[in-house]
């Protein structure tokens, strides 16, 4: 552990890190206490039916910790196990954590990395997502914050995307993708002319971290670096936006304005053009600093209307 | 059941609910005694960004009023609309917004009751029916996450095998009975009886905390969820 302190500023990719590595890098050193950890062996009761291996934490790590000295509850999905998808146990752990956060009046940080519902236990997963959304709204209505961090391998798809939309604030990196229907799902249902899931650049222009940040779908854009996520999370936790009717009225106006302003666009680059980004074609190639400098004056901010 | 027939059963004395482009808006006096706001999705429509924001607007205007009338959400939809346009616009935010509006309306004292009288799936289901305090259904309703042939494609299992498994476990297979067992559906109504009276009865019960996991354990469709969530809460308390 002391190694971390002596290592020079080596960049650790959030995208490449495991759920446990992300938590270790994000939270104050040594402050994390896990709830229902692998020793409890609470595995999925359903995967065996499909002949699939289970994991002792069911692909999600939850617990309490400090973040910049601030007491928080934290959850991290493991995108390498079943694509970070929500099953019965996986989902219930997060439901429990959010309910506990409300009882203890703590903020929550969610390290989302998920393909959505785990199809082998689809109904339980779908319902867990609904329970998570309700628990987030309950927690936020009490005045606590729920911060979402998105930049993992599995992205944030399906019901995971809807959960993201319920968070107080979102921190994303370039590889972070947020959407409801995944690229393959749209292509399968609507054809390759509607959505070419193999065209990676197009996928990122439609649902990638930069596009979400530019349109107000995310609040902070950071490097694919655990240190950058930590700094942004500490800064974000300092704010306070209880969920009220006026927040939702402001969100209503914000989303309506987005449809009016950009609804005719066929591609992310057309949205960026309409925003007033000087050279939209160069956006995907920009590093974080260039990108933030080139867009800060024109991007749509969510302005806490989320 | 068609929405016309459903509406005439719920509001025998008439109503001002309109169905336009697959969306339902308006209000009426349920069973001639209880004024309610009505929103919903009809005609097996997909729910996209424009639909979600229009429904949310109606919920917010109900919340702005002084009366705390219940909000009745009638659902016969398909999934979220799957398209480039919807995802480019940020469909996740629009569906989340609708769900938040319904949940906050409940927190403001509106009873929120959904009646699933047809299909619903995935993101559309989460943002409408599942975002209400109470979910009622009519026999023949068909909620699903994904249809079995698509599940077969994704899981790479033969459809026949999946159909066989679906008969034994409610946890992944589409259908009202399976969702009821997992605790999603509070009650299935009797279409031969007085529908308005049955919805009124559900409305007369006080709203509760989210008890769907406990219900799923009782009914056997979600054996672990309630216990896991409760255990996490206990560990958090003593940590």
Residue B62 sits in a domain whose CATH number is: 3.90.226.10
Residues of A in contact with B95 (CB under 8 A): 162, 165, 180
Query: Which segments within chain B are labelled E, that is strand?
Result: 18-20, 23-30, 34-47, 71-80, 112-116, 119-121, 134-137, 142-144, 187-188
B232 in a structural domain: no
Which helix (H) or strand (E) element contains residue A80? none
B157 in a structural domain: no
Q: CB-based contact (8 Å) between B131 and chain A?
A: yes
**Strand A60-67 with A70-77, pairing:** antiparallel
Angle between helices A122-141 and B212-219 (to 10 degrees): 150
The pLDDT value given to residue A2? 44
pLDDT tens digits, A42-88: 999 999 999 999 999 999 999 999 999 999 999 999 999 999 999 99
pLDDT tens digits, A191-210: 999 999 999 999 999 999 99
User: Using CA of residue B194, residue B200, residue B204, residue B205, what is the dihedral sign?
Assistant: positive
B166 in a structural domain: no
The pLDDT value given to residue B169? 85
| DSSP class of A279 | -
Residue B31: CA atoms inside 13 Å, Cβ hemisphere, count? 13
CA dist A174 → A152, A166, A217, A235, A284 (Å): 10, 21, 13, 19, 9
- How does residue A126 score in pLDDT terms, banded at 50, 70 and 90? very high
Q: How high is the mean pLDDT in each 10-residue block of chain B (239 residues)?
A: 95 95 97 94 98 98 94 98 98 98 97 98 98 97 89 86 88 94 97 97 92 96 97 95
A121: closest chain B residue by CA:
B172
Tally C-beta pairs within 8 A across A and B.
272
Q: With a CB-CB cutoff of 8 Å, which residues 3-42 of chain B face chain A? A: none
pLDDT tens digits, A13-37: 999 999 999 999 999 999 999 999 9
The answer to whether the Cβ–Cβ distance between A166 and B169 falls below 8 Å is no
Sheet holding B71-80, edge to edge: B18-20, B23-30, B34-47, B71-80, B112-116, B134-137, B187-188
The answer to whether the Cβ–Cβ distance between A96 and B91 falls below 8 Å is no
Fold of domain A11-295: 2-enoyl-CoA Hydratase; Chain A, domain 1 (3.90.226)
Rounded CA-CA distance B2/A4 in Å is 64
CA dist A79 → A222, B223, B227 (Å): 20, 25, 25
Instruction: Give the residue numbers spanning the domain of B15.
Output: 3-139+189-208
Residue of A206, A210, A177 whose CA lies nearest to A285: A210
Cα B81–Cα A168–Cα A264 angle in degrees, nearest 5: 35
Domain boundaries, chain A: 11-295
Kindly tell me if the per-residue pLDDT of A4 is higher than 50.
no
Torsion of CA B45, B39, B141, A181, to 10 degrees: 40
Average pLDDT of chain A to the nearest whole number: 95
Q: CB-based contact (8 Å) between B68 and chain A?
A: no
Contact A129, A162 (CB under 8 A): yes
Rounded CA-CA distance A166/A251 in Å is 11
- How does residue A9 score in pLDDT terms, banded at 50, 70 and 90? low
The answer to whether the Cβ–Cβ distance between B89 and A212 falls below 8 Å is no
The pLDDT value given to residue A239? 82
Residues of A in contact with B103 (CB under 8 A): 133-134, 137-138
Of B50, B87, B169, the CB nearest to A179: B87
Sheet holding A70-77, edge to edge: A33-35, A60-67, A70-77, A107-112, A146-150, A169-173, A220-222
Residue of B30, B13, B5 whose CA lies nearest to B199: B30
The pLDDT value given to residue B31? 87
Of A92, A101, A126, the CB nearest to B145: A126
B180 in a structural domain: no
The pLDDT value given to residue A8? 54
The pLDDT value given to residue B155? 82
Residues whose CB is less than 8 angstroms from the CB of residue A81 and which lie 6 or more positions away in sequence, other chains included: A55, A58, A59
Rounded CA-CA distance B99/B116 in Å is 16
The answer to whether the Cβ–Cβ distance between A119 and B108 falls below 8 Å is no
B172 in a structural domain: no
Rounded CA-CA distance A90/A77 in Å is 9
The domain tally of chain B equals 1
């Amino acid at each position: 552990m002391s190694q971390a302190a002596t290592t020079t500023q080596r960049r650790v990719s959030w995208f490449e890190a495991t759920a446990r590595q992300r938590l270790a890098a994000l939270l104050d050193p040594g402050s994390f206490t896990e709830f229902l950890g692998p020793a409890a062996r609470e595995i999925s009761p359903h995967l065996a039916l499909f002949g699939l291996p289970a994991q002792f934490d069911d692909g999600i790590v939850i617990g309490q910790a400090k973040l910049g000295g601030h007491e928080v509850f934290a959850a991290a999905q493991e995108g390498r196990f079943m694509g970070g998808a929500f099953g019965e146990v996986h989902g219930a752990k997060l439901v429990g954590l959010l309910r506990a956060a409300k009882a203890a009046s703590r903020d929550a940080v969610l390290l989302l990395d998920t393909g959505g519902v785990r199809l082998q236990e689809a109904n339980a997963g779908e319902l867990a997502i609904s329970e998570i959304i309700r628990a987030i709204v309950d927690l936020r209505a009490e005045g606590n914050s729920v911060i979402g961090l998105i930049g993992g391998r599995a992205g944030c798809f399906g019901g995971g995307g809807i959960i993201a939309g319920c968070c107080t604030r979102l921190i994303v990196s370039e590889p972070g993708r947020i959407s409801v229907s995944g690229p393959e799902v749209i292509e399968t249902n609507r054809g390759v002319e509607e959505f070419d899931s193999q065209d990676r650049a197009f996928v990122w222009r439609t649902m990638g971290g930069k596009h979400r940040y530019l349109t107000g779908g995310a609040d902070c854009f950071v490097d694919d670096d655990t240190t950058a996520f930590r700094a942004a999370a500490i800064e974000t936790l300092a704010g306070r936006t209880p969920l009220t009717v006026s927040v939702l009225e402001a969100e209503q106006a914000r989303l309506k304005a987005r449809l009016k302003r950009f609804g005719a666009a066929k591609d992310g680059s057309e949205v960026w053009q309409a925003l007033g980004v000087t050279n939209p074609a160069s956006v995907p190639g920009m590093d974080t600093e260039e990108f933030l400098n080139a867009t800060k004056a024109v991007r749509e901010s969510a302005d806490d209307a989320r | 059941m068609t929405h016309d027939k459903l509406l005439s059963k719920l509001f025998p004395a008439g109503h001002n609910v309109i169905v336009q482009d697959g969306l339902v808006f308006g209000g009426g006096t349920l069973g001639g005694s209880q004024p309610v706001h009505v929103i919903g999705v009809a005609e097996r429509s997909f729910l996209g960004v424009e639909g979600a924001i229009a429904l949310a607007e109606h919920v917010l205007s109900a919340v702005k009023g002084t009366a705390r009338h219940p909000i009745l959400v009638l659902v016969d939809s398909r999934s979220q609309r799957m398209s480039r346009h919807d995802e480019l616009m940020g469909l996740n935010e629009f569906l989340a917004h609708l769900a938040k509006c319904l949940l906050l309306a409940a927190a403001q004292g509106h009873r929120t009751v959904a009646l699933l009288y047809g299909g619903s799936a995935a993101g559309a289901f989460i943002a409408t029916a599942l975002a209400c305090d109470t979910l009622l259904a009519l026999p023949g309703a068909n909620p699903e996450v994904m249809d079995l042939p698509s599940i077969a494609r994704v899981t790479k299992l033969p459809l026949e095998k999946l159909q066989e498994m679906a008969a034994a476990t409610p946890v992944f297979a589409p259908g009202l009975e399976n969702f009821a067992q997992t605790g999603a559906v509070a009650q299935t109504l009797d279409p031969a009886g007085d529908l308005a009276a049955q919805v009124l009865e559900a409305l007369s019960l006080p709203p509760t905390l989210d008890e769907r996991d406990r219900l799923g354990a009782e009914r056997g469709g979600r054996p672990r969820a309630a216990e896991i969530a409760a255990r996490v809460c206990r560990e958090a308390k003593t940590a």
